[in-house]
Structure 1
Amino acid sequence: MREGTASLVRREDYSAPAYWIRSVDLTFDLDPQKTLVINRMEVERNPDLPMQPLRLDGEDINLTRVLVNGESISFRVEGAQLVLDGLPDGRFTLELRNTCAPAKNTQLSGLYTSGGGFFTQCEAQGFRRITYFLDRPDVMAVYTVTLKADAKAYPVLLSNGNLVEQAELDGGKHCAKWHDPFPKPSYLFALVAADLVMREQKIRSRSGKDHLLQVYVRAGDLDKTEHAMNSLIASVAWEEARFGLSLDLERFMIVAVSDFNMGAMENKGLNIFNTKFVLASAATATDFDFAHVESVVGHEYFHNWTGNRVTCRDWFQLSLKEGLTVFRDQEFSMDMAGAASARAVQRIQDVRLLRQVQFSEDAGPMAHPVRPDQYQAIDNFYTATVYEKGAEVVRMMHTLVGRDGFAAGMKRYFERHDGQAVTCDDFAQAIADANPGSALAGRLDAFKRWYAQAGTPQLAASGRYDAESRRYTLELTQRGLPTPGQPDKQPWVIPVAIGLVAADDGRALPLQLEGEPAAGGTDRVLVLDQPSAAFTFVGVESEPVPSLLRGFSSPVVLDAALTDAQLLVLLAHDQDAFNRWEAGQQLALRRLLAAARRPDDGTPVLDEPFVAAMHSLLRDPSLDAAFKELALTLPTETYVGERLGAEIDPQRVHAVREAARLQLAQALRDDWVWAYEHHQPAGGYSPDAHSAGQRALANLALAMLVLDATGSGDTVWPGRAYQRFKDAGNMTDRFGALSALVNAHAELAVPALERFHALFKGEALVIDKWFALQAGASEPVGEHAGRVFTRAKALLQHADFSLRNPNRARSVLAALFLNNPAAFHRRDAAGYVFWAERVCEVDAINPQLASRLARALDRWRALAEPYRSAAREAIARVAAKPELSEDTREIVTRALQD
């Protein structure tokens, strides 16, 4: 869709469909240039609405015939809709015949080809690119699908549900028939026809039923599928154990494809995945990759119930399935991690992502509620707000009703709505109704403001201790900042998990609120549902340090007004691992912000108390290696910039953070040597949480040692890093060593990069890492500034680079535009010029990818000059292009709005 044709869709305008499609019988005669689609539907008029034409959605398809009850009828096409008048009242059969051209589909939405095979991606509105249909999530039908294709070229034929029959056909073709007994919306349809190999595993569920699990990949990748299969088996078992939800089909299939816009797609029984989230081996995947395969496999499997069996009434309810399922995959990952410390590490990682991406989104022109009120292109609302913040909203419900109460609420939800398309309100109501005496049930209407209001609440806290009466009063105040279309905010319901830590010796103090008969443990959840409130604790034996928002109990920005001394107490003693990490991050953030706001006068960024605290933390034998690695990693440049608020100078922020990193590298040199030498996992490679934590700390230590050595001219540690790079027995250590060399700009980085490419030139996902490492590398400060940007531009000319493959395009462009602010935001505006050119170029090929790249300049108004004016000019240049997709146009238009 091009300029002037996109219309604004509003949630308030929702109405039920005028017709229902009860069943669909699809036949595909697959050909890359011209695929024939025969679509037979049982259609029923909605008796609750007046008689009206049937309007079916379609895009880039060639319609050849329309039959109603076997008789040919006339039709007309209005814009992107097929309009049928004079239809029978009640139920009738509608048959459509059309063709589409999968080989020409570079958008990777609908039916397309990749690597010589056929694949589909129908969420959100791809099915209309296959055949005319009521392409909306509240129209749910039972599907039967017959696939016909050349048997030699496409030996594997897959679709949703259960395999009914297979047969050989004349002319070297074959066919397969699939039936999905569960009604589903069109966005969950899928087919695959390709030359693939398969790993399979038979399992028996708790209910005693047998199921077949299958993972399909291209030849040569089968040895990288064991972890994905193990993750799927673990997902099935976890879902049954945690929520009592069983696999409901005879088989469950995963197919990996290299050309895919998303991470994966939960099509009923036939999940199609980006290869990035299926393929993993010790030689080609890092610990990070292994963790993400497990998480994404779990996420898509859990959608079988939260998204498939119960789906969205309309796309405004997207978080109904995505926020809930992200929460569930986060819980799954924490449970798979095992130990409490490993669970805390997982939580910290999830919150870092939320703050890095979603908080920034809330502060920019694309700020929107978890349940948006309007959209121009729905693909633009697959956002961190819908996913990550949506998960936090579900987590707050879990906090307010408890683990058992939440499980009861989930049971009530499925009892009420299985097989239906419903809303976020329906989910919240089910959780509250199952817990009538809970803090959620009594505040449900106010709690649902989390779905309706955009922006990140600002929470302020202050405390007063009266030693004589042994009373501690905590005052909490909340406020909401204006966001586009929402200048004023009503109070949110904010669960605040709290503990009190003794300032003198760090012990956990018992908690007894005024009016309670006795203390009730050392932690609890307070609920702030007004602009402000005071909570008084009695029997507090000594002056406390409040440990607030434990486990990050609400997605807010907290100003706890704690002194450095108080933060140091929490860093050393807090029982809550998240808040212990957070104390260190706040100490670091204060120093980074102070340095970024003052002129560069040579004053060290970090002071001695902070460095000493980091030394103690690194040497603390009670802490896990994974936690230490997180705690010793400084806040990102993006997060520091966001906390600056306005007049952000990305180059200054980068220089300050790099100076702080070098300080830590130099001041803790002996500690880094110890950390590196004492955190090498013994035995063969395993991606378990403990081993991964040891490797993470060792690789951080190596990076700091190489940084220190490169700055001083020492060659010992760069040499050791290069040797480790050559000798490593797994990708985590090999890539960690390579990253240490590249980010320190050591001389050995160049031969290491060349050797890495030569070793893995046949491994697409590994070469993606090679590209991303260079485009995302730390930009040198000083006379060599601009080196990374220049290299990133040159990478687009590399023989292995292609804009048509989303993974490869992201490996350079997203790494530069979204993840490397110092290299991207240049005073000469070259980064913005390059951005504008690439966004337009990619938009002509793949609008979904282009719109995501376009969001790199969402926060241009917060930049200092000369960045701000140059960024606005670049956005306006893109917006002025007459041939621009609705996806990208919505992003740049909203960015320019006052």
Structure 2
Amino acid sequence: MRTDTGQVFRLEDYRPSDYHIPLTDLTFRLSPDSTRVISELTIERRDGISGTPPLVLDGDGLVLKRVELDGKALAPSAYEATPESLVIANPPAGKRFRLLIETEIAPSQNQALMGLYRSNGVYCTQCEAEGFRRITYFLDRPDILSVYTVRIEAKRDEAPLLLANGNPGERGDLGDGRHFAVWHDPFPKPSYLFALVAGDLGLVSDSFVTASGREVALAIYVEHGKERLATYAMDSLKRSMRWDEEVFGREYDLDVFNIVAVSDFNMGAMENKGLNVFNDKYVLADEETATDADFANIEAIIAHEYFHNWTGNRITCRDWFQLCLKEGLTVFRDHEFSADQRSRAVKRIAEVRTLRAHQFPEDQGPLAHPVRPRRYREINNFYTATVYEKGSEVVRMIRTILGADMFRKGMDLYFERHDGDAATIEDFLQVFEDASGRDLSQFALWYHQAGTPNVTVAASHNAASNEFTLEIEQSVPPTPSESRKRLMHIPLAFGLVGQDGKDIAYAAVDGASVEDGVIHLRKRRHVVTFSGVAERPAISLNRGFSAPITLSIEQKPEDLMFLARHDGDAFSRWQAFNTLLTDALIAATRNVLGGKKPAFAKELVELAGIIAGDETLEHAFRALAISLPGEADIARDIGANIDPDAIHAAREALVGAIAETNQSHFKALYEKLGASGSFSPDATSAGRRALRNVLLDYLSILPHGEMLAADHFSAATNMTDRAAALMVLAHRHPKSAEAVNALAAFEEKYRSDALVMDKWFQIQAAMPGQDAVDLVRRLTAHPAFSMANPNRVRSLIGTFASANQTGFHRADGTGYKFFVETVLAVEKRNPQVAARLATALRSWRSLEPGRQAKAREALLAISAAENLSADLRDIVERTLA
């Protein structure tokens, strides 16, 4: 584990390496405690470099065994080796030379899960961002592209399967129970995309014929006995490959495509060229063990990693400041894939909910940073919602500004111009400017400037002149290290909705650039006048969430009610009702704090029933629409002096009001949606289950609701319904016999399935109330829990800290004290996971003063710990700053 060096890396300090490594030959002699790695590097001095500058290779905790230069052993005086670097002060004067390095590593002792490690007896690598330097000394940076040939040697009974990047080559027997396999990847790649897997795994195989007629062998490797659980993942892979050909013109380029599922993994998955390594959570699924959300995540993440083959692998990043160039772009691509596979409207709403829940708080807190950061101390901490989710939104805005056809033209030019390159954001924007002739220099601020813009709108209608006017103003709040902001180019999609529910046609526009239903905001203040508007319309703004902004608009509740029932844009229809619910919950929270009983408008609670029963809408849309904003969402919108207990009480009051008002209607609809036929993970079936389970949650708050939930649990034929019922019982009736029995039955049934037990941990970790801390502490001693496994830690500790507002933010600070203990315990094994946990306190300044003081004490306690890793110290110090 690297402790903090205090070094800060800055974008402006980037310069190319003095040396390239065009060819890399690796030999691995695998052993759990003593693996030998022999790297033979062909090294070239970069053109234009005078003299022979020192060669400085990166390492991390390495043990050097041998160094040879052009076939001859180097004298100890000719180099300087530490666990963190290998320096050759006087390399050969010629342009090209060969360097052989032998290192020794211990995969079984690697609990950080970076570099080469063992997971349940399987050798596995994770090299992004800087894990390759834990394997051998190297120029471990994204702009060093090399062609890799890899030879793996291992005991046959320990590792009958030997995999690496690229296409398979020679393989054979070595005697003494050992064997070998050679892999060659003809496409130059950076070291972070290197992968190796070796072990004894089951296989699911298939094939895919590309658009040009090439046959690609597909394989998914899983633990023996779990092969049937990879069927959906394989189907998702084949659909992803076909979609990328049809929508982006991208064909796969190797003879094989392999996926390996492992149980110990820091991330969701990794896009290593031709050998994707996955957290098994995002591969294994059937109706008995996985929810509909799990199926959707598998589909999306399989697609995401496959799409990286072109946006990340064939074209990679020049440096880690350009991380959004591969991640934000590929998230946009996987979002589009999922929208085409399922419901575009429902997918878009889900994307925005995720963005607001995770990225907006980043932008509004001490961890704010631009989509392309300008500096970092630990790159692992910049795999954030800003880089991924906001990065995707920026790409989406480019398509909105240019139009679908011109966007595709720009993407085609990007692939043509930069295939085989380590590219930059400037390269990406340039292709769209060249393809379209448009100037995107102001738009580029979305990459360079942190913060969520706020757009304020006032509307007025002049019946005498048939004019409708919008007064629009934009602002970007200050963020850490960036107090003065420049004006953004914001594409604001809109519609003017008439009394018949249809968009009103307008004759002319004055005051701003309006194209195809989009207002292009470029100045601080715009006055936009629409002529030929005879009736006062309801204004539908930021349709489809065309820009990641907060929107403040003078809008009457009756206008929002109207839009919630009639807006032709599905996202805006959802947004209108969500705004009504949020406003009501904020008002109710203030009532609770003032000692008053929350009260809700009759029209609002009745509208929930109307939307739930509207057969013209998709089931999944209705489920999302009537799901109340979460407690963290409400806290974010309140913004300051947050009391989680008051928010919880207000939200429960609104749940009760909606349930009581719509009781008979909800019961009838619940029964109508009852289970029918065999399970299918398709979008329509999943939507029916989602709506029925939301109705169950409402009905469960009524008298005898625990009996309904217990019956739902007992009758469930799939994990979606079973887990939903268990959550209702545990959260609404935690002391009831029905909840206790259901939790025990679930544990008994699934105690040997770690991924399903994660759901059991999650449900209990999110149980609201003062007792949550003690419950979670007890669960850390459960036989199924392990501090060494990232999935277990995220399911219990991560859920408690991020999803349990009343438990984690307990007024006496007990939740924070437990959190300090746990984060520091995790950090000793896995600094990356600990750092991600610590972000749960990023919004501590928005709490009421008592909790705020205790949260600060917790952060200071972590900061004061000895030998803190760079990962964790970076997060804590930025959070405290």
For Structure 1 versus Structure 2, the TM-score category normalised by the shorter chain is: over 0.9
1:745-798 alpha-carbon deviations (Å, 9 max, x no partner): 251111101111111112111001011110012x1xxxxx41222211110111
Whole-angstrom CA distance in 2 between matches of 1:483 and 1:54: 39
1:631-661 alpha-carbon deviations (Å, 9 max, x no partner): 1111111111111111111121122112211
CA contact (8 A) 1:648 1:862 kept: yes
Whole-angstrom CA distance in 1 between matches of 2:670 and 2:509: 50
Whole-angstrom CA distance in 2 between matches of 1:757 and 1:580: 40
1:589 positional shift: 0.8
1:87-132 alpha-carbon deviations (Å, 9 max, x no partner): 1130011110111010110000000001011000000000000000
1:152 matched to 2:194: no
> Which of 241, 247, 272 is 1:236 aligned to?
241
AA aligned opposite 1:262 = M
Whole-angstrom CA distance in 2 between matches of 1:887 and 1:171: 43
Whole-angstrom CA distance in 2 between matches of 1:165 and 1:844: 41
Q: Which residues of 2 match residues 470-869 of structure 1 at below 5 A?
A: 470-502=466-498, 504-514=499-509, 524-598=517-591, 599-680=593-674, 682-709=676-703, 714=704, 717-746=705-734, 747=736, 748-777=738-767, 779=768, 785-869=769-853
TM-score by length of structure 2 reads 0.97
CA contact (8 A) 1:27 1:39 kept: yes
Whole-angstrom CA distance in 2 between matches of 1:133 and 1:610: 62
CA contact (8 A) 1:239 1:302 kept: yes
Stretches of structure 2 that go unaligned for 5 or more consecutive residues are none
Whole-angstrom CA distance in 2 between matches of 1:314 and 1:512: 49
Match of 2:255 in 1: 250
Match of 1:782 in 2: none
> Which of 282, 302, 315 is 2:307 aligned to?
302
Match of 1:13 in 2: 13
AA aligned opposite 2:731 = N
Give the SS at the match of 1:570.
helix
1:727 positional shift: 2.9
Whole-angstrom CA distance in 1 between matches of 2:124 and 2:480: 38
1:97 matched to 2:86: no
Whole-angstrom CA distance in 1 between matches of 2:5 and 2:485: 33
CA gap of 1:62–1:245, structure 2 versus 1, over 3 A, is: same
1:79 positional shift: 6.8
Of residues 726-735 and 851-860 in structure 1, the stretch that sits farther from structure 2 once superposed is 726-735
Stretches of structure 1 that go unaligned for 5 or more consecutive residues are 780-784
1:106 matched to 2:105: no
1:491 positional shift: 0.6
CA contact (8 A) 1:125 1:187 kept: yes
TM-score by length of structure 1 reads 0.96
Whole-angstrom CA distance in 2 between matches of 1:605 and 1:218: 54
Structure 1 runs (4+) deviating above 4 angstroms are 1-4
1:721 positional shift: 2.4
Match of 2:351 in 1: 350
Whole-angstrom CA distance in 2 between matches of 1:514 and 1:367: 37
1:515 positional shift: 6.6
1:822 positional shift: 1.2
Give the SS at the match of 1:569.
helix
CA contact (8 A) 2:397 2:491 kept: yes
CA contact (8 A) 1:159 1:190 kept: yes
1:391 matched to 2:392: yes
1:597 positional shift: 2.6
Of residues 411-420 and 735-744 in structure 1, the stretch that sits farther from structure 2 once superposed is 735-744
CA contact (8 A) 1:2 1:883 kept: no
Give the SS at the match of 1:707.
coil
Match of 2:214 in 1: 209
> Which of 852, 861, 866 is 1:877 aligned to?
861
AA aligned opposite 2:62 = I
Of residues 53-62 and 264-273 in structure 1, the stretch that sits farther from structure 2 once superposed is 53-62
Whole-angstrom CA distance in 2 between matches of 1:584 and 1:259: 41
Give the SS at the match of 2:785.
coil
1:644-694 alpha-carbon deviations (Å, 9 max, x no partner): 111111121122112211222222211221221122353211111111010
Give the SS at the match of 1:534.
strand
Match of 2:461 in 1: 465
1:809-828 alpha-carbon deviations (Å, 9 max, x no partner): 11110000111111100111
1:360-388 alpha-carbon deviations (Å, 9 max, x no partner): 01011110000001000000000000000
1:718 positional shift: 2.4
CA contact (8 A) 2:501 2:568 kept: no
Match of 1:41 in 2: 41
Q: Which residues of 2 match residues 434-473 of structure 1 at below 5 A?
A: 434-436=435-437, 441-442=438-439, 444-473=440-469
Whole-angstrom CA distance in 2 between matches of 1:682 and 1:869: 53
1:342-375 alpha-carbon deviations (Å, 9 max, x no partner): 2100000000000000000101111000000100
Whole-angstrom CA distance in 1 between matches of 2:282 and 2:9: 33
AA aligned opposite 1:18 = D
Whole-angstrom CA distance in 1 between matches of 2:472 and 2:139: 49
AA aligned opposite 2:254 = L
1:3 positional shift: 5.1
1:86 positional shift: 1.3
CA contact (8 A) 1:592 1:605 kept: no
1:78 positional shift: 5.3
> Which of 288, 309, 318 is 1:283 aligned to?
288
CA contact (8 A) 2:754 2:784 kept: no
1:71 positional shift: 1.1
Whole-angstrom CA distance in 2 between matches of 1:681 and 1:397: 43
Give the SS at the match of 1:216.
strand
CA contact (8 A) 2:208 2:215 kept: yes
Match of 2:92 in 1: 88
Give the SS at the match of 2:486.
coil
Whole-angstrom CA distance in 2 between matches of 1:383 and 1:191: 26
Whole-angstrom CA distance in 2 between matches of 1:727 and 1:592: 34
Match of 1:428 in 2: 429
Q: RMSD of aligned C-alpha atoms?
A: 1.4
Give the SS at the match of 1:304.
coil
Give the SS at the match of 2:60.
coil
AA aligned opposite 1:61 = L
Whole-angstrom CA distance in 1 between matches of 2:781 and 2:669: 40
AA aligned opposite 1:615 = G
AA aligned opposite 1:537 = F
Of residues 613-622 and 226-235 in structure 1, the stretch that sits farther from structure 2 once superposed is 613-622
Of residues 147-156 and 2-11 in structure 1, the stretch that sits farther from structure 2 once superposed is 2-11
1:219-276 alpha-carbon deviations (Å, 9 max, x no partner): 0110101100000000000000001100000010110000000000000000000001
Q: Which residues of 2 match residues 127-142 of structure 1 at below 5 A?
A: 127-142=132-147
AA aligned opposite 1:286 = T
CA contact (8 A) 1:703 1:741 kept: no
Whole-angstrom CA distance in 2 between matches of 1:29 and 1:193: 11
Of residues 742-751 and 121-130 in structure 1, the stretch that sits farther from structure 2 once superposed is 742-751
CA contact (8 A) 1:618 1:671 kept: no
Of residues 368-377 and 644-653 in structure 1, the stretch that sits farther from structure 2 once superposed is 644-653
